[in-house]
Structure 1
Amino acid sequence: MDAISSLIRMARLEATLDVRCLLAGSHVLNNPPRGPGEAPFHVLLDGHCVVETGTSRVEMHAGDVLVLPRAHGHRVRVTGLRPTAPLEEYAGRSVTTVSSAAPPEVDLFCGHYSFGPGAGQLLFDGLPDVLYGSFGSEAGSPLRLLGELMRQEAGADGPAAGALLASLCEALLALALRGAGDERAGVPRLTSPWTAVRDPGLRAVVDTVVQRPEEAWTITRLARVAGVSRATLVRRFPAATGMSVAEFLARIRMTVAADLLTTTERGLDDIAMSVGYRSPSAFGRTFRTLTGTTPARPRRTTATIGR
């Protein structure tokens, strides 16, 4: 399994589609900060809008996906060409729809990802403040097919629509993490997630560490995986991912460990060994540094939820 697929599986996240906005005219949609373990997202299928956070302003066009891993409060501005029409709200079984009385200029889906402490937290903590992908809506765009399915399921609101919409929203995250399409002409370049690294050698390092975290990796060994010198890897890896090789290695190992903590009953010493730590105390220190808690907490949290 490739690195991104493995990371999404380990995150055990749940996607929820909160509202579909079919808007005509000008509107301001205020979104308060979300709680711990949640990350809001938007996908724009038609029209144009602007998303404003405390640190950035992102223009969205048809075929764009935006995720806010820090759960920041934000504002969505829609400036339409038609007169602003009154809004009506319809609470369906699967999604709430807010629509203008006039034909819409904007078709915007808004939702959030939920994740628990551990692997999901580590994944989202390692992403930029704004995760953005611009895929377009022309033929051949992966978002064109996904968007049509989202429209169909949200409009029909039939049996299993909620489950289908959740799966489609998870696919949106996979697209954003992969990063393909974010260099479309005319689209401002934002910080890419480390998951979207394009260099084949660096991609080999990422995939290898995710698949084999238990091995005694050194920078020299990973440089051989990348097919470059040690100095070149030390220079290129942070530039492409925003992390040093050592930071990346620790984050991946703790992500795998967190998944094992929440999905197995293996002992802490055994899990530490399975992600490359011969010293349980060193494992515990690294886990606390990256997650702010002890390795026992994700297991206790999972056990409590399962009761």
Structure 2
Amino acid sequence: MDSLSELVRLLSPSGTVDLHCRVAGAWSAHNAQAPAGHMPYHVILDGRANVTIGKDVLPVSAGDVLLFPRGAAHTLASAQRTRRSGPPRGTASQRFNGVVTEITVPGADAPLDILCGTFVLGGGAGILLRALPEMLCVPTAGPSSGEAGHDAGWLRGLIGMMHAEAETPRPGGAAIIADLSTALFTVLLRTLISRGTVTRGVLALLADTRMAKAVDAVVGAPERPWTIESLAQSANVSRATLARRFTQLGGITPLELVTTLRMERAARLLQQDNLSAAAVAERCGYASQAAFGRAFSGQFGVGPGAYRRQQRSLRTTMRDAV
């Protein structure tokens, strides 16, 4: 399995499309800070808008996909040059069409047509989101030739299907949109890597030909007794180069990546009641159960046994709620 597929599996993303909005005139909409593990996104289907995050203002237009890796608060507003700001004029209408909530606000200016949703990520989100900017914009308009163009074509196709399912609800529409949005997440990550858009974090390491070899090696077998020297050999670089590039690009040391991937594997294995903590430790590359326990507690704040009990209790609670 390639590194991106394994990292996506680690994140266990699930996607939702919550709103389909068509708003015109002078308007603004604030989005509060999202909970941990929630990555809001907006797909601009038609029209133009301005997005403000902190002191930065970015104009966006049809075909742009906005991602907020750590759920940062942000404001979307009309791109029209009008004196009035704040709530839009006209009588707003809102209805749930069986798949998404539709919000329509009339106005004299060209409307913004936008899908708003959220990617909900699993426990491994930290390693992927570390060092990413607060906001990413992925344009999908443009030619369809070359690798980047191919991914842009895929994105346009996915967005088109999501738009169709949201606009004309049919049986199974909610499930289809959920699956399409999860696929959208993966293609967005692949596009960011192929375009070299992200300059920091694990995605930046994957975009670097030599460092990607080291990441591939760890992702493929995190249980191996990796050292700086063996990882440098897998990337065909010196130990100093490996350490320097990991710090510069990834904001993480090579052995921190090893430990993080081991611990995420351990967390998944501990949810299987048929495996003892000792067996999990061995599968994750630890000869000593005590060393495994210390590493696990450092990552999750609780020991392997307590984590397993927490997960078992959570599954029971969710089952009883159904």
Q: Which residue of 2 aligns with 1:100?
A: 105
Tell me how far apart the structure 2 counterparts of residues 155 and 69 of structure 1 sit (CA, whole Å): 27
1:259 to partner: Cα distance:
2.1
Contact 1:23–1:99 (8 Å) recurs in 2: yes
33-42 vs 167-176, which moves further: 33-42
After TM superposition, the structure 1 = structure 2 runs for residues 208-219 of structure 1, keeping only pairs within 5 Å, are 208-219=217-228
Tell me the residue number matched to 2:158.
Answer: 146
> Where does the alignment leave 5 or more consecutive residues of structure 2 unmatched?
145-151, 317-322
Is the CA contact 2:27–2:77 (under 8 Å) kept in the aligned structure 1? Answer: yes
Tell whether 2:8 aligns with 1:8.
yes
**Residue by residue, what CA displacement relative to the aligned partner does 1:225-251 show, whole Å, maximum 9, x if unpaired?**
101111211122222212111222222
Would you say the 8 A contact 1:48–1:59 is kept in 2? yes
Aligned to 1:186: none
Tell me which moved more, 26-35 or 158-167: 26-35
What amino acid sits opposite 1:20 in the alignment? H
Give 1:56 deviation, angstroms. 5.2
Aligned letter for 2:218?
V
8 A contact 2:119–2:185 mirrored in 1: no
Q: 1:160 aligns with which of 159, 172, 176?
A: 172
Name the structure 2 match of 1:73: 73
AA in 2 matched with 1:134: V
3-state SS, counterpart of residue 109 of structure 1? strand
Report the TM-score, using the length of structure 2 for normalisation: 0.81
Provide, for residues 10-38 of structure 1, a one-character-per-residue CA deviation record: whole Å limited to 9, x for no partner. Answer: 33332121112222223211122333443
Larger Rg: 2
Q: Distance in 1 between the 2:276 and 2:13 partners?
A: 24
Range with greater deviation from structure 2 (201-210 or 46-55): 46-55
* Counterpart amino acid of residue 231 in structure 2: L
1:242 pairs with one of 251, 254, 258: 251
CA contact (8 A) 2:228 2:254 kept: yes
Per-residue deviation, residues 127-147 of structure 1 (Å, max 9, x unmatched) = 625252423223522321111
For 1:65 and 1:263, the matched residues in 2 are separated by: 37
Find the partner of 1:260 among 266, 269, 279: 269
Q: Say whether 1:130 aligns with 2:119.
A: no
Q: Which amino acid aligns with 1:162?
A: A
Q: How many residues align?
A: 300
Partner of 2:96: 91
2:234 corresponds to which of 202, 217, 225: 225
Tell me the secondary structure at the aligned position of residue 80 of structure 1: coil
CA RMSD of aligned residues (A): 2.8
Moved more, 284-293 or 49-58: 49-58
- Native 8 Å contact 2:59 2:79 kept in 1: no
Instruction: Could you list the structure 1 runs, at least 4 aligned residues long, displaced by more than 6 angstroms after superposition.
Output: none
Which ranges of structure 1 fall in alignment gaps of 5 or more residues? 184-188
Quick one: structure 1 residues 294 and 133, their matched pair in 2 at CA, closer, same or farther if it must change by over 3 Å?
farther
- Counterpart for residue 194 of structure 1: 202
For the structure 1 residues 198 and 114, does the alpha-carbon distance in structure 2 shift closer, same or farther, using more than 3 Å as the test?
closer
- The range that moved more, 59-68 or 243-252, is 59-68
1:182 & 1:55 partners in 2: Cα distance?
A: 26
Aligned partners of 2:100 and 2:166 also within 8 Å? yes
Tell me the CA shift for residue 217 of structure 1: 0.6
CA distance in structure 2 between the partners assigned to 1:60 and 1:279 by the alignment: 53
Q: Equivalent residue for 2:41? A: 41
C-alpha spacing 1:52/1:261, structure 2 compared with 1 (3 Å): farther
Give 3-state SS (helix, strand or coil) of 2:275's partner.
Answer: coil
Matching of residues 103-114 of structure 1 within 5 Å: 105-114=111-120
Are the equivalent residues in 1 in contact too, given 2:199–2:249 (CA < 8 A)?
no
* TM superposition shift of 1:203: 0.9
**Match status 1:271 vs 2:277:** no
The Cα offsets for residues 170-201 of structure 1, whole Å up to 9 and x where unpaired, read as: 12221333314656xxxxx6654412432222
The CA distance in 2 between the partners of 1:192 and 1:58, in whole Å, is 20
CA distance in 1, matches of 2:187, 2:220: 20
